[in-house]
Amino acid sequence: MKSTSQPDFLRIRDLRKAYIPEQPILRGISLDIPRGQLVGLIGLSGAGKSTFLRCLNRLVDASSGQIEVPRETFASQAVPDVWVDINTLRGAELRAWRRKTGMIFQQFNIVKRLSVIQNVLSGHLGYVGTLPGAMRLFKPEVHEQALINLERVGMLKHAYKRADALSGGEQQRVAIARTLMQKPRLILADEPVASLDPKLAETVLDILQRVAREDGITTLISLHTLELTRRYADRVIGLAQGEVAFDDLPVNLSPEVVNTIYQRYQEQTV
């Protein structure tokens, strides 16, 4: 399903993953995802959503299949229109791809003893050397960009607070600001609002949606709430037992479709 005129950013072909032989988690996923699209990823626990997201930035290595992106995404000297399978990347090229791929987790992954600004600055560590990074030495323009990103997520007034003084929703906004310091081309958010109350969840998703549209960042968000998925996603992909069971516009996510995904899960586990 492709509901936009934007060029492709991700081309996924027959992606498979099994941690244990004969027990596949991903069973041949093939998708084209355009640049700047916000994709809502749904499915029951164990459907393969988290594994799928982790394969996209190589936190988990796929068993087989291809995940192709334009090389110019992470290589400044790359020839335009040349695509590369990220499963083949090693060393500096793999680090460059991960630098351009922001991950946002349910647990926030904030260092609570550090200030908010220091947490945000850590998103720039991939662009500095080992010694400056260890000493947390950043150029003034990097510090200024961190403040700009905090303002974008509505957290500028908390810049010099300790992170452990923040609420869960505030910590997640700091995590988004930190991700923006990577200058990402792809954001992968794994259940980013699962531990937040409904109002805070809407605030976080408002920010992610706005950032994706303003910056043209391709964004995949795993969500467990169908109402939020319908409201925020440009496109919905439903996984059932590691396969694509639904791929369409949110308006077409009917109760019958949801029941089909659930029924499919039941049939394969009986």
Tell me the angle at which helices 168-180 and 198-215 cross, rounded to the nearest 10 degrees. Answer: 10
Q: Which residues contact 152 (CB under 8 A, 6 or more apart)?
A: 177, 180, 207, 211
Question: Is the Cβ–Cβ distance between 185 and 101 less than 8 Å?
Answer: yes
Q: How many CB atoms lie within 10 A of CB 20?
A: 7
Please name the residue ranges forming H helices in the chain: 49-56, 91-99, 116-121, 130-134, 140-152, 168-180, 198-215, 226-232, 255-269
The helix (run of H) or strand (run of E) holding residue 213 is helix 198-215
Per-domain residue ranges for the chain? Answer: 110-183
The helix (run of H) or strand (run of E) holding residue 68 is strand 64-70
Question: Which tens digit of pLDDT belongs to each residue from 82-139?
Answer: 999 999 999 999 999 999 999 999 888 899 999 999 999 999 998 887 767 767 778 9
Q: What is the pTM of this model?
A: 0.92
The helix (run of H) or strand (run of E) holding residue 19 is strand 8-20
In this prediction, residue 46 has a pLDDT band, given cuts at 50, 70 and 90, of confident
Question: Which tens digit of pLDDT belongs to each residue from 165-218?
Answer: 999 999 999 999 999 999 999 999 999 999 999 999 999 999 999 999 999 999
Q: Which residues contact 117 (CB under 8 A, 6 or more apart)?
A: 143, 146, 147, 150, 159, 160
Residue 100 to residue 140: CA distance in whole angstroms:
22
Residue 242 to residue 236: CA distance in whole angstroms:
15
| Total residues belonging to the chain | 270
Q: What is the CA radius of gyration of the chain?
A: 19
11, amino acid identity: R
Question: Which tens digit of pLDDT belongs to each residue from 243-261?
Answer: 999 999 999 999 888 887 7
